[in-house]
Chain A
Amino acid sequence: MDFDFNLLMNAIASGLLLGGFYAAVTAGVSISFGMLDIVNIAHPAFVILGSYIAYYFSASLGVDPILVSIIALPAFYLLGGAIYQVYYLSFERRGQDALRGLAFFFGLLFVTEVTLLLTFGVDYRYVEAPYIGPSLHLGSIELPYRLLIPCVAAMLLYGALEVFVSRSFIGRAIMAVSQDQLALQLMAADPIRIKRIAFGISIATASLAGALLIVIQPVEPSVGRDYIGRVFAICVLGGLGSLPGALIAAFLLGVIESLTSTYYGPSWAPAVSFGVLLLTLAFRPAGLMGR
Chain B
Amino acid sequence: MAAVGLAVMALAHWLSVDYFYFAAYTILQFIVLSTAWNILGGYCGYVNFGTAAFFALGAYSTVFWHKFFPMPIPVLIVLGAVVSGIVGLGMGYLTLRLRGAFFSIATLAMAVVFQTLVVNWDFVGGSRGAYIIHPENSEFAGISVHYIEYLFMLMLALALIALVTARTIERSQLGYGFATIRDDELAAEACGVPTLRLKLIATTLSGAFMGMAGAPFPYYIGYLQPQSAFALDYAVNSIAMPMIGGTQTWVGPLIGAIVLGSAQQYATVTISSAANLLIVGLMLVAFVIIAPNGLLGLFEQIRARKKP
Contacts and interface: CB of A to CB of B under 8 A. Distances in A.
B24 interface: no
Chain B interface SS verdict (over half): helix
Interface residues of B, number: 44
B116 A103 contact: no
Q: How large is the interface on A (under 10, 10 to 19, 20 to 34, 35 or more residues)?
A: 35 or more
Contacts of A236: 102, 105
B282 interface: yes
B288 A107 contact: yes
B106 A281 contact: yes
Contact of A104 (B117, B119, B275, B288): B288
A33 B120 CA distance: 33
Chain A interface SS verdict (over half): helix
A218 B49 CA distance: 27
A107 B284 contact: yes
Interface string A92-133: 001011111011101111110011011000000000000000
Nearest to B235: A106
Contacts of A103: 47, 239-240, 243, 284, 288
Contacts of B292: 94, 96, 100
A285 B117 CA distance: 25
B281 A278 contact: no
B106 A277 contact: yes
For A41, A106, A228, A236, the residue with the greatest tally of chain B CB atoms inside 10 Å of its CB is A106
Contact of A114 (B41, B235, B274): B274
B98 A285 contact: yes
For B182, B243, B278, B281, the residue with the greatest tally of chain A CB atoms inside 10 Å of its CB is B281
Contacts, number: 120
A27 to B, nearest CB: 18
B253 to A, nearest CB: 14
B294 to A, nearest CB: 11
B105 A41 contact: yes
A185 interface: no
A90 interface: yes
Interface string B102-115: 10111011101101
Contacts of B102: 236, 281, 285
Interface in B221-246: 232, 235-236, 239-240, 243
B45 interface: yes
Given A98-B101, A267-B116, A115 B278 contact: yes
Given A98-B100, A110-B280, A232 B274 contact: no
B112 A274 contact: yes
Contacts of A285: 98, 102
Given A103-B288, A274-B108, 13 more contacts: A99-B100, A103-B284, A104-B289, A107-B288, A108-B285, A118-B275, A225-B232, A228-B108, A236-B102, A274-B110, A278-B94, A278-B106, A281-B98
11 contacts: A96-B292, A98-B101, A100-B288, A106-B49, A106-B236, A106-B239, A107-B240, A270-B112, A270-B115, A271-B113, A278-B109
Interface of B: 41, 45, 47, 49, 94-95, 98, 100-102, 104-106, 108-110, 112-113, 115-117, 119-120, 127, 182, 232, 235-236, 239-240, 243, 247, 274-275, 277-278, 280-282, 284-285, 288-289, 292
Interface of A: 33, 39, 41, 86, 90, 94, 96-100, 102-104, 106-111, 114-115, 117-118, 225, 228-229, 232-233, 236, 267-268, 270-271, 274-275, 277-278, 281-282, 285
